[in-house]
Amino acid sequence: MDAKTTNGERRHIAIKLWPPSENTRQMLVERMTNNLSTPTIFTRKYGSLSTAEAIKHAKKIEESAFATANQHYEQEPDGDGSSAVQLYARECSKLILDVLKGVSRIEEKEAVISEVDSISRETFFDISKGQRAFIEEDEAQTLLSPLKEPGNSYTKICFSNRSFGLGAAHVAGPILASIKNQLKEVDLSDFVAGRPEAEALDVMNIFSEALECSNLKYLNISDNALGEKGVRAFGKLLRSQSNLEELYLMNDGISKEAAQAVCELVPSTEVLRVLQFHNNMTGDEGAIAISEILMRCPLGIALSEALAKCRNLKKIDLRDNMFGVEAGVKLSEALYKHEHLTEIYLSYLNLEDDGAIAIADALKDSAPLLEVLEMAGNDITAEAAPSLYDCIYRKKRLVKLNLSENELKDEGAIQISKALGDAHEQLKEVDLSQNSIRAAAKIVAQNLVHLPGFKCLNVNGNFISDEGIDELKDIFKECPDKLGPLDENDPDENDYDDKDGGDEDEGSEDELEAKLKNLDVNQED
């Protein structure tokens, strides 16, 4: 260290948690080998691998998880790496479970490693960093030269935040045309800012023609003040897309006429998952045109009808879709309007806490007749429990509650069980299986056993002690058929998540190893 460095400067040295050392990575491989080949709650359920098989899979799992986490870390280099460590551990845990389930055997893992190898090659070309600025012909020649290199592997491009003039567009057009067959994601948001309308429309036409007949999954043309003329300038590109999964048209001045043009020019929405359309001035007639796009989506049918027309829906079933947090929040906005819902099935949507909280808050003030609420397999933790409590407490007609395969643990389970009081006379089933619950199982049972119509409590697949199991059986001794099986409970399982917070020396290699050495298959997606 420089001798002139002050004491204050020394105290603020940033220590990175990522990347892990080779020793740490090897330690994790050994840990996963053990998880795959020795008796645990999951190997007893799905079967274990031989030691040789386990070693081979563990190495491949670690390589895949490391590549995923490293890519995440590179996108936020100013961070301390803690989020990359957490992602690394989650990916390992998920892939271990996939292997044990038989979802990903040797052949599929070879494909995973092949994909990991491809990550090492550059796939994302991005010129959006830095100050917003015009780009003209000479600069475009230099800036876009990597895209002309033979054999390049770019599949994603981002030209946002740079304003292309006509000269730069004439440079970009042939380059894009030459690589369009390998492109999957294109971001052209805010790429004609400050240009006269005529020039901007010519630039859009050039890019549209260059990318025509590409096979994109993601297209972002937001922040371009498109209007109807701009939408139609992108007509060749839009018409040629049949596999778009995400389309972004935010802050584009989409009038009624522009919305109708979008509806006309987007021919296929069979696989469309995301249509971001906020901050436009579409009006009612334009919204109807956009709703017609959604009506052509298999997923959009249920959502758009619920949003636009069917406020008398009694049942919504969206299970097993890769929605994610953002879609969960959007769905919650629709639920505020439904007073007649009696059943809602939202399991395995990747809602996480934010999505679950938004939906619970919406249902709290709507759906007074709700009888069935299912939100299994959504990575919900105790953080969402207060909102779930408020929602469940008000649903006096509830018959079935399923929150299995989450991470509520004791804290969350206790809060939710307290919502199920004497007023829930119609409640028959509660499923809190596979939630890393320990002592709270007893409290849950005590709150439910006396309900007159209650039929089944499922707390299987948790970490209840032998003593705790005896207490459960004692609580239900007068009605043992109301307590579900406990054959997959693991009283010896360690809840590693609760042990992570010991050392405050954030950034040390010891902390990193402490986080990773405690990795286990602790959730079933």
The Cα 125–Cα 143 span in angstroms is 10
Give 450 or 299, the one with higher predicted confidence: 450
Q: What tokens appear for 374 in the block? A: 């299912």
What type of residue sits at position 451?
L
The Cα 185–Cα 179 span in angstroms is 12
List CB contacts of 179: < 8 A, sequence separation 6 or more. Answer: 147, 152, 154
**For 16-20, what is the mean pLDDT?**
76
pLDDT tier, 282 (very low <50, low <70, confident <90, very high otherwise): low
Which tens digit of pLDDT belongs to each residue from 144-184? Answer: 999 999 888 899 999 999 999 999 999 999 999 999 999 99
pLDDT tier, 6 (very low <50, low <70, confident <90, very high otherwise): very low
Closest CA to 295 of 319, 333, 266: 266
Q: What tokens appear for 50 in the block? A: 């031989």
Mean pLDDT for the chain overall: 80
For residue 116, pLDDT beyond 60: no
Q: What tokens appear for 455 in the block? A: 């039929």
Closest CA to 233 of 209, 264, 275, 204: 204
Q: Do residues 429 and 399 lie in contact, with contact meaning Cβ atoms separated by under 8 Å?
A: yes
Q: What is the DSSP string of 179-248?
A: HGGG--EEE-TT-STT--HHHHHHHHHHHHHHHTT---SEEE--SS--HHHHHHHTHHHHHT-S--SEEE
The Cα 415–Cα 389 span in angstroms is 6
Among 96-100, 136-140, 218-222, 407-411, the minimum mean pLDDT is found in 96-100
**For 295-323, what is the mean pLDDT?**
57
Q: What tokens appear for 82 in the block? A: 């803690």
Q: What tokens appear for 158 in the block? A: 């981002």
pLDDT of residue 321: 57
The Cα 395–Cα 427 span in angstroms is 10
pLDDT of residue 523: 47
Count how many Cα atoms sit within 13 Å of the Cα of residue 28 in the half-sphere of its side chain.
29
pLDDT of residue 75: 76
pLDDT of residue 353: 94
pLDDT of residue 155: 93
